[in-house]
Amino acid sequence: MKILMCVPNVSEGRDQATVDRFADLIRSQPGVKLVDLSSDGDHNRSVYSYLGEIDAVLAATKAFAAAVIDAVDMTVHTGGHPRNGALDTVPFIPVGDTTTEEAVAVAKDFGRWLGSRGVPVYYYEDAATRPERRNLVDVRKGEYEALPEKLKDPFWTPDEGPAEFVPRSGATQVAARFPLVPFNVNLRTEDIDIATQIAHAVRNLNGGFRYVRAIGLELTGTGMVQVSMNLTNYTQTPIPRVMEAIKAEAARYGVSVASAELVGAVPLGALEEVVRYYLQIHDFSMSQTVEMNV
C-alpha cells in the first residue's frame, strides 16, 4: 500500500484551544490518522504527525494549511524555535512502498496550491529546486525577521507564490525527505551558553556528527535549558551515539542531563539502536517485536 506521512510544524504552541482545533481538523479528514501531536510553549511551536494514502494526505494537508494560515498571525509571534512562517515547514515522508519521487510530486502539488493562495513557498531537501536550498537551515537563515529584505533579493525568489513579504503568514518551507528524528535533551542548568556550546559540539555545522542539526534553547520557568536537535539520518547517526556525546560534553561543565524528548512519530528503526546499545543486545532487530509480526 502507498502510504505517506506529513509532519507540518506550526508556529503556535501557547494557545491550547487553537492547537487542539488544528488536531481535530486532521482527525476529521477521511482516510488520515493523526499519530502524534507535540506542542511546546517555549518554542511556541506544534508538530502534527499524520499518515494515510497519498491522495488523502494531500487533501488533508491543504485543509490543514488553510486553517493555519487563517488563524496564526506571525506579526505577533515570539518563541525560541527558528521559524519563517505561520505554517513553517511541511515535509512529506514516504512510508512503505511509496517512493521518494512520489513524495516529491505531492510536495510540489501542495506547494503550488499554497503559493496560489498568496504564501511564499520554498522547496527543500529532496524537493529542492537547486542545491543551495536543500538544507532547511540555509533556507530559513535570518528567520521571519529577515524575510522583508531577503525577498527583495532575486537569489531568494520563492519557488511558488509571491516574491514579496507577507507579514501575517511569512513563508512556508515544503519538502519531501527521509524520516528525521527530532530529539531534544534537557540539561539541569539555566545557563543557555552551556546548551549552545554543547549544540555546537555535536552538530555537523561545527564539525560534530554528520547528520545532526542542533541549537541551544531556553526553557523558561523550568530551571533548565535544552539542546534541540534534528537527527537527519538515524541510520548513520544513531540516537545513543548523540546522547552519550551530550552527556560527556555536559559533564565537562558539571551539568547533568535531566530528561530527553522525541518529538512526533518516530520510525521503529530509530529505536532499534537504542535497544542494542543500552540493553547490550547487539543482534536485536525490530522483527523480534510482537507488533511487527501481527
Enzyme catalytic residues: 81
Neighbours of 215 (CB within 10 A): 19
Find out whether 237 and 210 touch, Cβ atoms under 8 Å.
yes
Q: Which residue type sits at 97? A: D
**Rounded distance, CA 85 to CA 9, Å?**
10
* Distance between start and end Cα atoms, the chain: 16
Which residues, in sequence order, are bridge partners of residue 68?
none
Neighbours of 266 (CB within 10 A): 20
Find out whether 82 and 143 touch, Cβ atoms under 8 Å.
yes
Find out whether 52 and 4 touch, Cβ atoms under 8 Å.
yes
- Residue 136, C-alpha cell as written in the block: 532547511
